[in-house]
Amino acid sequence: MSSRADINSGLRSLGKIAQAGYFLGLHIRFAAPLMQFQTYPEEWSEFYSKNAYALRDPTIAWGFSTTGSCRWSALPIPDPFNILRDAASHGLTYGLTFSHGPIASRTIASFARGDREFTDAEIDDIATTVQHLHQITEPPASLTKAQKEALRCIAQGDRHAAAAAKLGITESAFKARLISVRERLKARTTAEALQRAKEYRLL
């Protein structure tokens, strides 16, 4: 199974458990996740963004302060802005936050249901899935010289034929370099690979 298919499989599993939606931020570095996925209702997402709740969210504060899992009903972090109450009013009545990884590359995920608390078995499944997603999306430590050269050509706006001529290789060889860098960065497109290389500070 390819990494992209593996990621999609994990996300589907999480979606089946978190019937009211979820937010997953993988490898949060410099205050932003390298990859993020969310399935919360659009109305809640817009309300959350409009009120700048990300800066005040007790689930995020908890996720940065510790690792493991915690039901929202047992969250030991103050919620002076009543974010969890507002979430409940949007159908996210019961929730769970799971945090994993070193503080320099932390993965934080929250999950919601409208009908009941998450069971211990569901929490175990969530933990296993998120840990797996964290592992398979771990950024590479470096790119090869050839991969960096190919991405730099794309960043400079070179077309494939021109880039290949500049590097003294065939166009098919240049395309092969782009394929390899997309695979290494788990990117669907070359543009996405270039963006991730910049975010990962690999160029």
Q: What is the 3-state secondary structure (H, E, C) of 174-189?
A: HHHHHHHHHHHHCCCC
**How far is Cα 19 from Cα 94, in angstroms, rounded to an integer?**
10
Q: Which of 34-38, 65-69, 86-90 has the lowest mean pLDDT?
A: 34-38
Q: Given this model, what pLDDT does residue 161 score?
A: 95
Q: Is the pLDDT of residue 105 over 80?
A: yes
> Considering only CA atoms, which of 118, 106, 102, 105 is closest in space to residue 22?
118
pTM given for the model: 0.77
pLDDT in tens, 164-177: 999 999 999 999 99
Half-sphere exposure in the Cβ direction for 178 (13 Å, CA): 24
Q: Given this model, what pLDDT does residue 123 score?
A: 98
User: Mean of the per-residue pLDDT values for the chain?
Assistant: 94
Element (H, E) at 130: helix 120-136
186 — pLDDT class (breaks 50, 70, 90): confident
- Tokens 């932390």 belong to residue: 106
Residue 90's CB: how many other CB atoms inside 10 A? 18
**What mean pLDDT is predicted for residues 178-191?**
91
Q: Given this model, what pLDDT does residue 38 score?
A: 96
Q: Is the pLDDT of residue 59 over 70?
A: yes
Q: Which residues contact 136 (CB under 8 A, 6 or more apart)?
A: 3, 6, 7, 186
96 — pLDDT class (breaks 50, 70, 90): very high
Q: Is the pLDDT of residue 32 over 90?
A: no
- Bigger pLDDT: 200 vs 153: 153
**What mean pLDDT is predicted for residues 45-71?**
96
**Tokens for 125?**
């499944």
Contact assessment for residue 72 and residue 98, using Cβ atoms and an 8 Å cutoff: no
Q: Is the pLDDT of residue 203 over 90?
A: no
Q: Given this model, what pLDDT does residue 30 score?
A: 76
Q: Is the pLDDT of residue 1 over 70?
A: no
**How far is Cα 144 from Cα 191, in angstroms, rounded to an integer?**
18
β pairing state of 106-113 and 94-100: antiparallel
**What percent of the chain is modeled with pLDDT above 70?**
99
